[in-house]
Amino acid sequence: MKVLVVGGGGREHALSWKIAQSSRVNKIYCAPGNAGIAAVAENVAIAADDVEGLRQFVNDNDIDLTVIGPEAALAAGLSDALTADGRAVFGPTKAAAAIESSKSYAKELMRKYQIPTAEAEVFTEIAPAIAYIKAKGVPIVVKADGLAAGKGVIIANDEAEAIAAVESMLEGNAFGDAGSRVVIEECLQGEEVSILAFCDGKTIVPMVSAQDHKRAYDGDKGPNTGGMGAYSPAPAYTPQIAAVVEREILQPTLAAMAAEERPYQGVLYAGLMLTDRGPKVLEYNARFGDPETQPVMMRLKTDIIDIIDAILAGQLDQINIEWYEEAAICVVIAAGGYPGSYRKGDIISGIADAEAVDAAVFHAGTKLEDGAIVSAGGRVLGVTSMANSISEAIAKAYTAVRKINFADCFSRSDIGAKALNREKR
């Protein structure tokens, strides 16, 4: 079969890598792809949110399955367009993807169906938003309502910072239309966990747990990013907590979407905070997470095409999904200045050396230029390793990371540290 993967980041490289392992697939395309994806797929110069361009490509090339990676493509209605043409597509409809594309919609859904989450209010004007901040106190969280590439969340530790965040979004247009409405919510305390789950509209099957590292620098310091690394499994996510999440969050969310006539088919990502009052939802994503997908896909044993087929047939309850017991970790190497302004076009060295130490180097922001691989994004590479324990996986990944270099690159040195500390205890 012929498969099109939509997107050009580390998530899409990991998905293409996993799809390439299926004996049922003989051709993979990726739009727009990147320099690393070119090793397993044919890159196609079509933007991920170019619905008409992708639609034409799928029909002209008789693509058997389209797998949508990024949220922008889902929010643009790519899944709906391809389904209307009778094409198989893995990714929720535009209406269902609102669970990510509108944080206010997600909040109202959780409030209506009593799904545990942080207390919050939605604002379109500065004065009432500031009044709410003053009434609630700090720390407090300010979120752009729409899609902001993982950067539209400000955790404000003082009142001035919270007010500045509101003003920059509502008045300063910091996130464009995505910030024309803001969600202001209580700052939950605890340990974060990412749970990705396969959904066919009526059945939801969680994947193995993962933990992302959102802040730019060691010790969870610095600004929020799209994610500086992740590992799987997350030891904090015990079987007891998993049972609560499935019963009180995942299954009710799927049922709520069906009740709202937005049946959910694809991957649902629940970003959770494990508080002393139980797990609560921080956010939903309507697709595979990035960089969680990299370690999670490394641990997936079952053919991903078989899983997708079961989902599209509404038969997810009839397939047994298997996982490797080993631990996996992804360390992101970013361009200097990220998540602010950063350099592009710097030659990257050492990728082959990193792969030689049994690591997969997933490309997130790269391109080929005059025969060399150069940086082309903020998050440039995701070095991913799997081993018998989290400590071994961490050691292997960082050995590989040290082989890679380009101007002003940086990575966090503490990805997986929370799991390592638990393992030592």
Q: Do 77 and 12 fall into the same domain?
A: yes
Phi, psi for 406 (deg, rounded to 5): -160, 165
Nearest residue to 227 via CA among 300, 270, 289: 289
Q: Do 9 and 58 fall into the same domain?
A: yes
**Three-state secondary structure call for residue 296:** helix
Q: What is the pLDDT of residue 60?
A: 98
Q: What is the pLDDT of residue 149?
A: 63
Full residue range of the structural domain in which residue 391 is found: 327-424
Q: What is the pLDDT of residue 181?
A: 83
In a domain, 295, yes or no: yes
Q: Do 252 and 309 fall into the same domain?
A: yes
Contact at 8 Å (CB) between 63 and 43?
no
DSSP characters for 47-77?
Answer: -TT-HHHHHHHHHHTT-SEEEE-SHHHHHTT
Nearest residue to 180 via CA among 196, 199, 166, 191: 166
CATH code, domain carrying 49 = 3.40.50.20
Q: Residue 74: how many CB atoms within 10 A of its CB?
A: 29
Q: What gap in Å lies between CA 355 and CA 404, rounded to an integer?
A: 10
Does the pTM surpass 0.85? The reply is yes
CATH code, domain carrying 352 = 3.90.600.10
In a domain, 299, yes or no: yes
Q: Do 203 and 314 fall into the same domain?
A: yes
In a domain, 98, yes or no: no
Contact at 8 Å (CB) between 259 and 252?
no
Q: Do 354 and 254 fall into the same domain?
A: no
pLDDT in tens, the chain (425 residues): 999 999 999 999 999 999 999 999 999 999 999 999 999 999 999 999 999 999 999 999 999 999 999 999 999 999 999 999 999 999 999 999 999 998 889 999 999 999 999 998 889 889 999 999 999 898 999 988 877 666 678 888 999 999 999 988 888 776 666 557 888 999 999 999 999 999 999 999 999 999 999 999 999 999 889 999 999 999 999 999 999 999 999 999 999 999 999 999 999 999 999 999 999 999 999 999 999 999 999 999 999 999 999 999 999 999 999 999 999 999 999 999 999 999 999 999 999 999 999 999 999 999 999 999 999 999 999 999 999 999 999 999 999 999 999 999 999 999 999 998 887 77
Q: What is the pLDDT of residue 292?
A: 98
Q: Do 209 and 137 fall into the same domain?
A: no
Q: Do 293 and 353 fall into the same domain?
A: no
Q: What is the pLDDT of residue 423?
A: 75
Q: Running DSSP on this structure, what letter comes out for residue 424? A: H
In a domain, 110, yes or no: no
Q: Do 224 and 265 fall into the same domain?
A: yes
Domain boundary among 157, 180, 203: 180
